[in-house]
Chain A
Amino acid sequence: MSSSIQSILHRYGSDRTRLLDVLWDVQDEFGYIPDDAVRELASGLNTTALDIRETASFYHFFRDRPSGRYTLYLSNTVIAKMKGFDAVSKALQAETGACFGGVDSTGTFGLEQTSCIGLSDQEPAMLVDKVVFTRLTPEKVVDIIARLRQGETPEQIANPGGLPPQALDYVDALVESNIHQAGPVFFDRGTRVREVLERWLGRNPDELILAATESRLRGRGGAGFSVGLKWRLCRESDADTRYVICNADEGEPGTFKDRVLLTRSPLQVFAGMTIAAHATAAREGIVYLRAEYFYLKAYLEAQLQLLRDEGLLGRDILGRGLDFDIRIQMGAGAYICGDESALIESCEGKRGTPRLKPPFPVYQGYLGKPTAVCNVETFATVTRVMELGASWFEGLGTKDSCGTRLLSISGDCARPGIYEIEWGVTLNHVLALVGARNARAVQLSGPSGECLSVEKDGHRKFCYSDLSCNGSMMIFDYSRDLLGVVRDFMQFFVDESCGICTPCRSGNEDLLRKIDLFMAGKARPSDIDDLQSWGRIIQRTSRCGLGGTSPKPILTTLGKFPELFEAADHPAHDTLLPSFDHVQAFSAYDRAHAALDKERS
Chain B
Amino acid sequence: MIKLVIDGKPVEAEEGANLVEAAGENGVYIPTLCYLKGEPCIGTCRVCSVRVNGNVTAACSVTVDDGMEVDVDEPEVADMRRALVEALFAEGNHNCPSCEKSGRCELQAVGYETGMVVSRFPYRYPPRDRDVGARHLWLERDRCIFCQRCVEHIRDRTSGHKIFSINGRGSRARIEIDVELADQMPPEQVREAMDICPVGCILEKRVGFDVPMGQRKFEVQTHRERATEGTSNE
Check B146–A53 contact: CB distance below 8 A: no
B165 and A506 contact, CB distance less than 8 A: no
B90 within 8 A of A: yes
Q: Quick check: is B83 within 8 A (CB to CB) of the other chain?
A: yes
Interface flags for B25-58 (1: CB within 8 Å of A; 0: not) read 0000000000000000111111101000000101
Decide yes or no whether B15 CB sits under 8 A from chain A: no
Contacts of A414 in B (CB 8 A): none
Choose from B43, B166, B169, B178 the contact partner of A543 (Cβ within 8 Å): B43
B121 contacts partner chain A, Cβ-Cβ < 8 Å: yes
Of A51, A57, A513, most B-chain CB atoms within 10 Å: A57
Determine if B162 is an interface residue (Cβ-Cβ < 8 Å): yes
B14 interface residue (CB < 8 Å to A):
no
**A48 on the interface (CB 8 Å rule)?**
yes
Please tell me if A495 contacts chain B, counting CB pairs below 8 Å: yes
Q: Which of A504-531 contact B (CB under 8 A)?
A: 505-507, 509-510, 513, 530
B176 at the interface (CB under 8 A from A): yes
In the complex, B72 has a CB within 8 A of chain A: no
User: Are the CB atoms of A48 and B173 closer together than 8 Å?
Assistant: no
CB of B72, distance to nearest CB on chain A (Å): 14
Q: Is A50 an interface residue (CB 8 A)?
A: yes
Is B178's CB under 8 angstroms from A50's CB? yes
A54 at the interface (CB under 8 A from B): yes
Does B167 contact A505, Cβ atoms closer than 8 Å?
Answer: no
Residues of A contacting B166 in the complex (Cβ-Cβ under 8 angstroms): 54, 57, 351
A91 at the interface (CB under 8 A from B): no
Bound Cα distance A499, B45 (Å): 10
Query: Any chain A CB within 8 A of the CB of B88?
Result: yes
Is B171 touching A507 in the complex (CB atoms < 8 A)? no
Pairwise interchain contact B44-A500, C-beta atoms closer than 8 A: yes
Nearest Cβ on chain A to B54's Cβ, whole angstroms: 11
CA distance A495 to B91 in the complex (A): 16
Separation of A494 and B176 alpha carbons in the complex (Å): 22
B44 A502 Cβ-Cβ under 8 A: yes
A177 on the interface (CB 8 Å rule)?
Answer: no
The reply to whether the CB of A341 lies closer than 8 angstroms to some CB of chain B is no
CB pair B46 A541 closer than 8 Å: yes
Chain A residues, Cβ within 8 Å of B169: 57-59, 334, 351, 497-499
Residue of A47, A494, A509 ringed by the most chain B CB atoms within 10 A? A509
Given A48-B162, A54-B167, A494-B170, A502-B178 contact (CB < 8 Å) = no
Say yes or no: A540 contacts B49, CB within 8 Å. yes
Do residues B162 and A51 form an inter-chain contact, with CB atoms below 8 A?
A: yes
**Which chain A residues lie closer than 8 Å to B90 at the CB level?**
506, 510
Asked if B157 lies at the interface with its beta carbon under 8 angstroms from chain A, I say no
The smallest beta-carbon distance between B73 and chain A, in angstroms, is 17
- Per the CB 8 Å criterion, the residue count for chain A at the interface is 35
Neighbouring A residues of B42 by C-beta, 8 Å: 356
Q: How far is the CB of B30 from chain A (nearest CB, A)?
A: 13
Q: Chain A residues near B16: list those with CB within 8 A.
A: none
Which residue of A53, A505, A543 contacts B170 across the interface (Cβ within 8 Å)? Answer: A505
B80 located at the interface, meaning its Cβ lies under 8 Å from any Cβ of chain A in the complex: yes
* Bound Cα distance A505, B88 (Å): 10
Chain A residues with CB under 8 Å of B91's CB are 505-506
Residues of chain B within 8 A of A509, CB atoms compared? 124, 171
Distance of B11 from chain A, by nearest CB (Å): 23
Contact A356 B43 (CB under 8 A): yes
Q: How far is the CB of B145 from chain A (nearest CB, A)?
A: 8
Chain A residues with CB under 8 Å of B176's CB are 50, 53-54
Contact check, A510 vs B165: say whether CB atoms are below 8 A apart: no
Contact B165 A541 (CB under 8 A): no
Q: Of residues 174 to 188 in B, which have CB atoms within 8 Å of A's CB atoms?
A: 176, 178, 181
**Does residue A411 face the partner (Cβ distance < 8 Å to B)?**
no
Whether, in the assembled complex, B87 has its beta carbon less than 8 Å from a beta carbon of chain A, the answer is: yes
Cβ of A495: which chain B residues have Cβ within 8 Å of it? 170
- The answer, among A53, A497, A505, for a CB contact under 8 Å with B165, is A53
Q: Is B161 an interface residue (CB 8 A)?
A: yes
Interfacial chain B residues near A58, Cβ < 8 Å: 168-169
Nearest B residue to A48 via CB reads B161
Interface residues of B (CB under 8 A from A): 41-47, 49, 56, 58, 61, 80, 83-84, 87-88, 90-91, 120-122, 124, 145-146, 148, 161-162, 165-173, 176, 178, 181
**CB-defined A-B contacts under 8 Å, sample of 16:** A48-B178, A50-B176, A54-B166, A57-B167, A58-B169, A356-B41, A356-B43, A494-B171, A501-B45, A506-B87, A506-B121, A510-B87, A513-B122, A541-B49, A541-B80, A543-B44
Which 7 interchain pairs have the tightest Cβ spacing?
Answer: A540-B56, A499-B170, A506-B87, A50-B165, A497-B170, A54-B165, A356-B43
